[in-house]
Structure 1
Amino acid sequence: MINFNGTIVSQDANVLTQNRAFLYGDAVFETVKIVNAKILFLEDHYFRLMASMRVVRMEIPMNFTMEYFEEQILSLVANNNLSSSSRARITVYRNDGGYYLPQTNDVSYLIHATAIDQVLYSFEKETYEVDLYKDFYITKQLLSSIKTTNRILNTTASIYASENGLDNCLLLNDAKNVVEAIQGNLFMVVGNKLISPPVSEGCLNGVMRKQVLELAKKVEGLVVVEEVISPFDLQKADELFVTNVIKGIQPITKYRKKEFTIHYATILLQKLNEVVAAT
Structure 2
Amino acid sequence: MINFNGTILENQTVLSMENRGYAYGDALFETVKSVRGNLLFWEDHYFRLMASMRIMRMEIPMNFTMEYLENQVLKTLETNALSDQTARVKLTVHRAEGGLYLPENHDVGFVISVKPLATDAYRMDTDPYVIDLFKDYYLSPSLLSTLKTNNKALNVIGSIYARENGLANCLLLNTNKNVVEALNGNLFLVKDQIIKTPPLTEGCLNGIMRKQLLRLLKNHPAYEVREATISAFELQKADEIFITNVIAGIQPVTKYRKKQFSMEVSKDITRHLNESLGLT
Give the corresponding residue for 1:24: 24
Q: Deviations over 1:55-112 (max 9, x none)?
A: 1100000000001111110111112111220011010001111000000100000000
Q: Deviations over 1:22-77 (max 9, x none)?
A: 11000001000000211000110000000110011000000000011111101111
TM-score, normalised via structure 1 length: 0.93
* CA distance in 2: counterparts of 1:146 and 1:15, whole angstroms: 23
Give the corresponding residue for 2:271: 270
Once the two structures are TM-superposed, the CA of residue 263 in structure 1 deviates from its matched residue by 1.2
Distance 1:14 1:64, change over 3 A: closer
Q: Deviations over 1:163-200 (max 9, x none)?
A: 00000000000101000000000000010100000001
Matched, 1:221 2:222: yes
Distance 1:268 1:15, change over 3 A: closer
* CA distance in 2: counterparts of 1:155 and 1:41, whole angstroms: 26
* AA partner of residue 48 (structure 1): R
Give the corresponding residue for 1:260: 261
* CA distance in 1: counterparts of 2:218 and 2:144, whole angstroms: 28
Once the two structures are TM-superposed, the CA of residue 219 in structure 1 deviates from its matched residue by 2.7
Give the corresponding residue for 1:101: 102
Q: For 1:23-42, what aligned pairs fall within 5 Å after superposition?
A: 23-42=23-42
Q: Deviations over 1:216-255 (max 9, x none)?
A: 2243231110000000010110000000000000000100
Count of aligned positions: 267
* AA partner of residue 35 (structure 2): V
What is the SS of the residue equivalent to 1:166?
Answer: coil
* AA partner of residue 37 (structure 1): G
* AA partner of residue 87 (structure 2): S
* CA distance in 2: counterparts of 1:96 and 1:227, whole angstroms: 40
Contact 2:36 2:82 in 1 (8 A): no
Contact 2:134 2:170 in 1 (8 A): yes
Contact 2:52 2:147 in 1 (8 A): yes
Give the corresponding residue for 1:202: 203
* CA distance in 2: counterparts of 1:122 and 1:108, whole angstroms: 35
Once the two structures are TM-superposed, the CA of residue 15 in structure 1 deviates from its matched residue by 4.1
Once the two structures are TM-superposed, the CA of residue 214 in structure 1 deviates from its matched residue by 1.5
Matched, 1:154 2:138: no
* CA distance in 1: counterparts of 2:126 and 2:61, whole angstroms: 41
* CA distance in 1: counterparts of 2:55 and 2:81, whole angstroms: 35
Distance 1:139 1:94, change over 3 A: same
Q: What percentage of residue pairs aligned between the two structures are identical?
A: 53
What is the SS of the residue equivalent to 2:16?
Answer: helix
* AA partner of residue 187 (structure 1): F
Give the corresponding residue for 2:179: 178
Give the corresponding residue for 2:5: none
Structure 2 unaligned blocks of 5 or more: 1-12
Contact 2:198 2:204 in 1 (8 A): yes
* CA distance in 2: counterparts of 1:251 and 1:64, whole angstroms: 37
Q: For 1:90-169, what aligned pairs fall within 5 Å after superposition?
A: 90-169=91-170
* CA distance in 2: counterparts of 1:206 and 1:23, whole angstroms: 26
* CA distance in 2: counterparts of 1:248 and 1:268, whole angstroms: 10
What is the SS of the residue equivalent to 2:214?
Answer: helix
Q: For 1:224-235, what aligned pairs fall within 5 Å after superposition?
A: 224-235=225-236
* CA distance in 1: counterparts of 2:78 and 2:16, whole angstroms: 28
Give the corresponding residue for 2:62: 62
TM-score, normalised via structure 2 length: 0.93
